[in-house]
Amino acid sequence: MTVNRPATYYSLVRSANVQIWQGLQALISLQEEWNANNYAVTLPAGSGDNVPLVAADLGAVVFDAADLLQAVLDAGVATSMAKLL
């Protein structure tokens, strides 16, 4: 182990934590946009790099994945994660 590894490790863990936290908050924000624009009906199929994605693929992440991640945070992990923000 190098002399600076512990400090680097702290930084890596905190950085990963921030990415998860911010990513979840972004998905939750996207739920509001999804609902306001009725994307389940109005969002066209993906094009370019987004082929073959369709609205249902995005909805599964925006809602199902985000809601499950939020449930994990609500179970007590949020306090631990918030300490590292």
CA 54 to chain centre: 19
What is the model's pLDDT at position 2?
A: 63
Q: What is the pTM of this model?
A: 0.85
Q: In total, how many domains does the chain have?
A: 1
- pLDDT exceeds 60 at position 1: no
Convert the pLDDT of each residue in 58-82 to its tens digit.
999 999 999 999 999 999 999 999 9
- pLDDT exceeds 60 at position 8: yes
Contact 62, 27 (CB under 8 A): yes
Name residues whose C-beta falls within 8 Å of residue 10's C-beta, 6 or more positions apart in sequence: none
Convert the pLDDT of each residue in 30-62 to its tens digit.
999 999 999 999 999 999 999 999 999 999 999
Average pLDDT of 2-6? Answer: 79
Range of the domain at 53: 5-83
